[in-house]
Amino acid sequence: MKTWKRNAIAATILVLICAGVYLNWNANQIEAVDFTETLNEEQVLNDATLTLSDTSEAQSVSAEEGSSAAESFAKIRLSRQESRDSAVATLQETIVYEDGSETASAAALSLDDIVSDALAESQIESLIIAKGYADCVAYMGDDTIDVAVSAPAEGLAEADVALIADIVTAQSDYTYDQIHIIEVK
C-alpha cells in the first residue's frame, strides 16, 4: 500500500511539473499584441496622454514658410508626441532597471508630472477649440505655458486673449503673467 501511495504522489508531482513546463513554454510563445492593428493611433495614444513640452517647437513650426495653419498644428502635435514617447520610454526603463531606488522614485515622479501636464494641455486645447477657435496647441513648461492659437482673419482681440487666459488659469496653476499666447495665422 505504501508503494502505491508513493508512486501516486510521484506521478502527481510529475504531472504538475510537466503542466508547469508546458504553460511556461506556451506563455513564451504568445506574441505581443500590437493594439495599433486593432485600434487607430488616436485611440491608442492621443493628445490626452503623456506629453513633454518644448515652447520653441511651436514657434519654429508655425514660422515655416508655405505651411498652412492646419499643417503647422499637425507638425507641432507630431513633434510633441515624438518627444513625449521618447521621454516616457526612458523613464519607464529607468523605473524598471532601478526598481526600488531613489532614481526609480524620481523617474516615477517625472512620469507623473508628464501625465498631469499632458492631461492639462489636452483639457486646455479642447476648451479653447470648444470656444470656437479653429485649432490650438498648449505647451506647459516649468514657469510658463505657451498657447498657440489659430487666429481668425482679423486677429485675436483683447477679449479673445482674456478668454484664452481664463481657460488656462482655470485648468492649471499658472498665473496671467506666466501665460504666453501665440497668434498663428
What is the value of pTM for the model shown? 0.58
- Going by C-alpha positions, the residue among 83, 76, 96, 90 that lies closest to residue 50 is 83
Highest mean pLDDT among 63-67, 99-103, 107-111: 107-111
What is the phi/psi pair of residue 142, to 5°?
A: -70, -45
- Residue 69 confidence class, pLDDT cut points 50, 70, 90: confident
Give residue limits of the domains in the chain. 48-184
Is residue 137 exposed (0-12), middle (13-18) or buried (19+ Cβ within 10 Å)?
buried
Per CATH, the homologous superfamily of domain 48-184 is: Stage III sporulation protein AH-like (1.10.287.4300)
Overall average pLDDT of the 115-121 stretch: 85
Overall average pLDDT of the 50-56 stretch: 36
Is the pLDDT at 10 greater than 60? The verdict is yes
Identify which has the larger pLDDT, 56 or 103. 103
Query: In this predicted structure, what is the pLDDT of residue 45?
Result: 39
Identify which has the larger pLDDT, 49 or 68. 68
Q: For strands 145-150 and 136-140, give the pairing.
A: antiparallel
Is the pLDDT at 175 greater than 50? The verdict is yes
182 forms bridges with which residues in the sheet? 148
Q: pLDDT tens-digit profile of 92-106?
A: 887 777 777 788 788
Overall average pLDDT of the 2-21 stretch: 78
Polymer length in residues for the chain: 185
Q: For strands 179-184 and 145-150, give the pairing.
A: parallel
Query: In this predicted structure, what is the pLDDT of residue 107?
Result: 81
Order across the sheet with 179-184: list the strands: 136-140, 145-150, 179-184
Query: In this predicted structure, what is the pLDDT of residue 52?
Result: 33
93 and 86 Cβ atoms separated by less than 8 Å: no
